[in-house]
Amino acid sequence: MLRALVILLVLANLGSYAWQTGWLAPWGLAPRSAHEPQRVEQQLRPEAVRLLNGPRTAPAPTLSTAPPVAVADAAAPPEAPSAAPAPVSAAAASASEATACFEAGGFDAAQADRLRAELRRMELPESGWRLSEVASAGRWIVYMGRYDNAAQVSAKKAELRELGVEFRDVATTGLAPGLSLGTFSSEAAAQTALQQVVRKGVKTARVAQERAASTSFSLRLPAITASQRDRIQSLGPAIGNRQLTACAG
């Protein structure tokens, strides 16, 4: 039974092969061949082929339907003219000038007040000037005089030279013409010196105050211009006609 089935399958396969290859065509047993028009229609159209992973064509740009932005017809206003440069202050102008240090001394209280007022009107900074108070002690001398004429002065000088006593001329108001045999800062020191010259043979000498104790003021201007110096100097009698001189150091 099994053998008969196998033989039957082999015969069926041989028959199918003979039919497909056209061996049975003379007996009218052959597969139908497709006509040319049908074959062409069954061909794939290459223009219709689309790759799934291929690059996509960029979409065509779409025209915007938004209305165009209106351009302002009015022209931009002209720029405002730049502000005029500010005038240069007197202090800034003087900064470009050469400066130097000047000083003067011997001002009394009234003259010092006048100087302070003028310096502030000039707008000098407080650090640009210094007005200092100077206390002067009294000055005492061993004095000979007052003489009536130059002849008397000459005669006394000759006597002092013979005694070996040093001297100098005195020009202080109220004491001139006269002679000083020594200068001292206190009356006591002058009295001691008087006793010494008396022992040398001087008989007409005495102690006198050549200058009383006083207070004065000195002005120092570390850095001022020539124009500022002239302005201070123009005060004249208000500052005792004193001259500003270059600082000593």
Sequence spans of domains, the chain: 95-134+214-246, 139-211
Exposure string over 214-226, b if 16+ CB within 10 A, otherwise e: eebbebebeebbe
At 110-145, the pLDDT tens digits run: 999 998 888 888 888 888 899 999 998 899 999 999
Residue 208: in which H helix or E strand, if any? strand 206-211
Please identify which residue in the block is written with the tokens 């800034």. Answer: 92
Between 179 and 84, name the one with better pLDDT. 179
Q: Has residue 61 got a pLDDT over 80?
A: no
In the 8-state DSSP scheme, what is residue 23? T
Q: Has residue 86 got a pLDDT over 50?
A: no
DSSP E strand boundaries for 28-187: 100-107, 130-136, 139-145, 168-170, 178-184
Name the CA dihedral angle for 222, 225, 230, 236, rounded to a multiple of 10 degrees.
Answer: -20
Tokens representing residue 249 in the block: 């150091």
Highest-confidence segment of 11-15, 25-29, 73-77, 192-196: 192-196
Q: Residue 42's pLDDT is what?
A: 52
Q: Has residue 195 got a pLDDT over 90?
A: yes
Mean pLDDT estimate for the chain? 79
Between 209 and 47, name the one with better pLDDT. 209
- pLDDT-wise least confident of 5-19, 41-55, 74-88, 235-249: 74-88
At 160-189, the pLDDT tens digits run: 999 999 999 999 999 999 999 999 999 999
Between 72 and 241, name the one with better pLDDT. 241
Mean pLDDT of 196-224: 95
For 95-134+214-246, CATH number out of 3.40.1350, 2.10.25, 1.10.3470, 3.30.70 equals 3.30.70
Question: How many helices and strands, by DSSP H and E, does the chain display?
Answer: 7, 8
User: Helix 226-233 and helix 109-121: axis angle, to 10°?
Assistant: 140
Between 17 and 39, name the one with better pLDDT. 17
Q: Residue 15's pLDDT is what?
A: 75
Q: pLDDT grade, residue 69 (50/70/90)? A: very low
How would you write 149-171 as a 3-class SS string?
Answer: CHHHHHHHHHHHHHHCCCCEEEC
